[in-house]
């Protein structure tokens, strides 16, 4: 067994991979624990199982001393899969080749994601092809990963990056720009505000995940039009492991109130003020950076497309449209110049030949969105007071 890294080795240990160990905890936990101790002693992060005693071994999913006493089986399973999927590779501890029903199910989910998997012994009665060089003892696998010996043809574990989708939904409520945020109901960042989103499930596209998470964490979704904004892949962006997220942007007029559900303790519309998107610490993960990029994308879209009409109701006035530009650009526009520019763009707005009664002066003319998608010429913004 390798010695535990000393203080001089800390910088190296931090760069070492993370591993999840699976196997029959009920029958072979002693072997699982010995293998986990080999990885831990070599400076690897053992995400699961915890190196604490077992309890409730007669349950469908055994419990550890650190598990909440009233936790349900499906909660334990969800937590375990989160830890497994955020690991760099998986090590299967299977004395005499035995896997068991629960381990076989976990292994199927793991292989479906394309994660690197290694085995202590060749599995029995498993209808899959076991790649050559993936059956290794824990000591030999540690040595292989660290490059201390060449146990050809063993493969070095690759980094397993998990995909997620996050959604930025912008709307104008009470003549101010708002973004939809949830309050996280579980770790990491429990109780902190974040954008709605979550992990991609097997068989889902990123777009499918975005819509499902939107429905699960709020009461929105359905007909909202979303566009891919950017992919965020900084290695340290998520404390749970290497998680790469693709952010989506949606824009809609005066959306309704929302509710929190799933792992979201609460969902609500929050005004997008300067302090929010300038201070990354205001939001969980790197969601402050995502929001800032989304705001800049919305500003650019207003310059070159007719997306500003998406913030307006079905029938709107030129003044309503101008307010959208002022709120998102952070400037005050000349009403006469703005109206002239809007009317000059063919197909931007179409008169409805109706008017909105006002308390003072002449009733304002109502328009609807026209067929144009791009502004020609573009409506370039003046220098805004709150540029990122």
**CB-CB contact of 137 with 111 (8 Å):** no
CA dist., res. 291 & res. 328, Å (int): 13
Count how many residues are written for the chain. 388
CA dist., res. 210 & res. 82, Å (int): 18
104, exposed or middle or buried, with CB in 10 Å at 0-12, 13-18, 19+?
Answer: middle
Query: Coil, helix or strand for 69?
Result: coil
Please state the pTM of the whole predicted model: 0.61
Structure tokens of 341?
């520019």
CA dist., res. 73 & res. 214, Å (int): 25
**CB-CB contact of 317 with 309 (8 Å):** no
What pLDDT, on a 0 to 100 scale, did the predictor assign at position 40? Answer: 94
What pLDDT, on a 0 to 100 scale, did the predictor assign at position 25? Answer: 84
* pLDDT, one tens digit for every residue, the chain (388 residues): 333 333 344 334 346 889 999 998 888 889 999 999 999 999 999 998 988 887 766 666 777 777 776 667 667 778 888 889 888 899 999 998 888 888 888 888 888 777 889 999 998 866 667 877 889 999 999 988 887 543 444 455 555 678 999 999 998 888 889 999 988 888 889 889 999 998 888 788 999 999 888 887 777 766 678 899 999 999 889 888 788 999 999 988 767 676 655 555 578 888 887 656 667 678 999 999 999 999 999 999 999 999 999 889 899 999 999 999 999 998 999 999 999 999 999 999 999 999 887 666 678 899 999 999 999 889 998 864 444 4
CA dist., res. 203 & res. 197, Å (int): 17
What pLDDT, on a 0 to 100 scale, did the predictor assign at position 264? Answer: 52
Is the Cα dihedral 60, 89, 113, 224 positive or negative? positive
The rounded Cα 245 to chain-centroid distance in angstroms is: 5
Structure tokens of 355?
């008017």
């Amino acid at each position: 067994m390798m010695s535990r890294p000393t203080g001089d080795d800390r910088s190296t240990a931090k760069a070492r991979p993370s591993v999840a160990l699976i196997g029959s905890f009920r029958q072979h936990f002693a072997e699982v624990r010995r293998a986990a101790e080999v990885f831990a002693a070599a400076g690897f992060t053992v995400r699961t199982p915890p190196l604490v005693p077992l309890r409730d071994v007669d349950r469908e999913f055994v419990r550890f001393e650190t598990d909440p006493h009233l936790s349900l089986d499906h909660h334990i399973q969800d937590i375990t899969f989160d830890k497994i999927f955020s690991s760099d590779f998986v090590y299967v501890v299977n004395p005499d080749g035995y896997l068991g029903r629960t381990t076989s199910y976990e292994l199927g989910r793991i292989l479906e994601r394309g994660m690197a998997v290694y085995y202590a012994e060749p599995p029995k009665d498993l209808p899959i092809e076991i790649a050559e060089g993936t059956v290794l003892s824990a000591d030999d696998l540690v040595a292989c990963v660290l490059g201390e010996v060449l146990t050809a043809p063993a493969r070095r574990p690759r980094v397993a990056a998990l995909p997620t989708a996050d959604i930025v939904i912008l709307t104008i409520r009470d003549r101010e720009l708002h973004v939809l945020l949830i309050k996280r109901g579980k770790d990491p960042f429990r109780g902190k505000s974040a954008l709605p989103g979550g992990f991609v499930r097997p068989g889902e596209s990123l777009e499918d995940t975005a819509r499902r998470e939107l429905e699960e964490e709020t009461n929105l979704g359905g007909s909202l039009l979303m566009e891919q904004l950017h992919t965020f892949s900084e290695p340290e962006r998520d404390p749970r492991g290497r998680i790469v997220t693709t952010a989506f942007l949606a824009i809609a007029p005066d959306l309704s109130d929302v509710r929190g559900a799933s792992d979201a303790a609460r969902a609500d519309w929050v005004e997008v003020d300067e302090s929010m998107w300038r201070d990354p610490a205001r939001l969980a993960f790197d969601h402050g950076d995502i929001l800032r990029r989304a705001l800049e994308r919305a500003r650019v879209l207003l310059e070159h497309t007719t997306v500003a009409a998406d913030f307006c109701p079905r029938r709107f006035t030129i003044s309503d449209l101008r307010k959208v530009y002022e709120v998102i650009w952070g400037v005050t526009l000349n009403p006469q110049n703005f109206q002239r520019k809007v009317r000059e763009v063919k197909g931007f707005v179409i008169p409805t030949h109706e008017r909105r009664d006002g308390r003072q002066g002449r009733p304002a003319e109502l328009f609807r969105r026209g067929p144009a998608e791009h502004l020609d010429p573009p409506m370039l913004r003046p220098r805004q007071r709150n540029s990122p």
